[in-house]
Amino acid sequence: MVMPEKGLSAPMNAKLTGSGAETVVLAHGFGGDQTVWDKILPVLSQHFRVLVFDWGFSGAVKEQEGLFDPVKHSSYEGFAFDLISLLDELDLKSTAFVGHSMSGMIGCIASVKRPDLFKHLILLGASPRYLNTDGYEGGFGIEQIDQILSSIESDYHGWAANFASLGVDPHDTQSVETFTECLRRMRTEVALPLAKTVFLCDHREVLASVTTPCTIVQTTNDIVVPNSVAHYMHDKIQGKTTVEMIEADGHFPQLTAHQQLLDVLGRILGFECV
């Protein structure tokens, strides 16, 4: 692995808050930034050191030149190398990694490459493949994915508003607005290749190599990731794995069901949520 000449922590807006013997890493997904964790960060910071950051594709990153490379980041491997570099730079090991959506699989890949960096993987709405295939329900047919990519290319801001409403929870207007603004800050020329990377990925083969203990956290009604994916991952991951279901709608429990998510994290990480 080639380390970058300059560190990633500053350009990726990395922030460490809180204190404690253990470190929790919060990694956002497609179109987001670190603000999606604002509802749970204060509680976690009472018990742990907590790292938040923005991926290079995020609109919150001021200097994206070099941080998002359509070639390097055409698969999750490129992001996994970024994550490893960031944790090494900050000298963080044996972390509890909370990866939302695409970041769940990025964490899995990084844990295979560097198991010393991860004590526990918490995979929040994660999926190794979104495209349906024989014997596997990923949630989308190829025609649906083609329509998503076409909409992003032709009217990204219109697609962003629609996706946020469906993906977050149409009944939680404040959270929908929060995520819509995150999406709209992401540049269209970044959104399209990233969407291709996400929606056309197939990282199912990685799961058998994951030995770090995992907890898969899934809402009961997620239009992006069907519940069957959580159970598929549970069966395929080699390490000790459990599934936690949150009774909620949408793909973003950190926004729409943050108290339920904190209760789950409390059971996993061993703290009481008052």
Q: Which residues contact 144 (CB under 8 A, 6 or more apart)?
A: none
User: How far apart (Å, rounded) are the C-alpha atoms in residues 262 and 43?
Assistant: 8
CA 164 distance to own-chain centroid: 15
Q: Which residues contact 152 (CB under 8 A, 6 or more apart)?
A: 159, 188, 191, 192, 195
Residue type, 109: I
| Cα–Cα distances in angstroms (integers) from residue 155 to residues 2, 163, 194, 265, in the given order | 37, 12, 16, 37
Q: How many CB atoms lie within 10 A of CB 134?
A: 4
Locate the DSSP E strands across the chain: 15-18, 23-27, 49-52, 95-100, 118-124, 214-221, 241-249
Residue 177 structure tokens: 């607005």
Q: Residues for the chain: how many in total?
A: 274
**Backbone angle region of 66, left / alpha / beta, with phi > 0 → left and psi within -120 to 50 → alpha:** left
Q: How many CB atoms lie within 10 A of CB 200?
A: 15
Residue 128 structure tokens: 């190794």
Residues marked as catalytic = 101, 222, 251
Question: What is the layout of strands, in order, in the sheet containing 241-249?
Answer: 15-18, 49-52, 23-27, 95-100, 118-124, 214-221, 241-249
